[in-house]
């Protein structure tokens, strides 16, 4: 059983991780698609609902999926580009359909991927994840400073 201070700290960490994965992605997609306030609120609500649903499935777990660990699932940033491209070419409903179909594909392909993953030692997978994270630091710093090429790049208000 977790102590109260540790539970609060872990809860706060999960809220911060959830914010990045569940709120920022719809904000980026909605901004790129020039959605109005009502549409943006709907997009964020839909994302929070599905993140909550998948989190419950992950925490409870079944015989076939779910880690049964206290983790919060969010939207992946890798989906931002394809969602914007699909929605720009057609509409947001088509992008939702593509997300659902790709999700079904991932669920079906996961057992094969899991079997292939055992051929890579933990040191290899850990190193790859670390390298990917480190390579994203310059992108994050550019965004924190106001975005590459912006007139107020590096201003203190952007850094705050």
Check residue 114 and give its pLDDT: 83
pLDDT at 160 over 70: yes
Number of folded domains in the chain? 2
What mean pLDDT value characterizes the chain?
87
What percentage of the chain carries pLDDT values higher than 70? 99
Q: How confident is the model at residue 1 (pLDDT cuts 50, 70, 90)?
A: low
The C-alpha atoms of residue 108 and residue 76 are separated, in whole angstroms, by: 19
Q: Do residues 93 and 146 share a domain?
A: no
At residue 68, φ and ψ (nearest 5 deg) are 60, 35
Q: Do residues 106 and 158 share a domain?
A: no
Encoded tokens for 105: 């594909």
Q: Do residues 72 and 38 share a domain?
A: yes
pLDDT at 105 over 90: yes
Cβ-defined contacts of 52-58 (< 8 Å, 24+): none
Q: What is the CA radius of gyration of the chain?
A: 18
Q: Do residues 113 and 136 share a domain?
A: no
Residue 101 CB burial class (10 angstroms; 0-12, 13-18, ≥19): exposed
Mean pLDDT of 89-93: 92
Q: What is the pTM of this model?
A: 0.68
Q: Do residues 88 and 155 share a domain?
A: no
Structural domain boundaries, residue 94: 4-117
């Amino acid at each position: 059983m977790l102590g109260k201070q540790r539970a609060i700290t872990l809860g706060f960490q999960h809220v911060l991780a959830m914010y990045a994965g569940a709120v920022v992605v719809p904000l980026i997609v909605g901004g790129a698609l020039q959605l109005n306030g009502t549409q943006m609120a709907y997009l964020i609500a839909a994302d929070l609902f599905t993140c909550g649903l998948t989190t419950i499935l992950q925490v409870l777990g079944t015989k076939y999926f779910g880690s049964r660990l206290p983790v919060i699932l969010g939207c992946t940033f890798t989906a931002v580009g394809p969602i914007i491209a699909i929605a720009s070419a057609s509409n947001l409903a088509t992008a939702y359909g593509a997300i659902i179909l790709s999700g079904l594909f991932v669920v079906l392909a996961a057992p094969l991927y899991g079997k292939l993953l055992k051929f890579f030692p933990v040191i290899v997978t850990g190193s790859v994840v670390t390298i990917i994270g480190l390579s994203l630091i310059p992108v994050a710093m550019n965004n924190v400073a106001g975005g590459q090429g912006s007139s107020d790049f590096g201003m203190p208000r952007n850094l705050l």
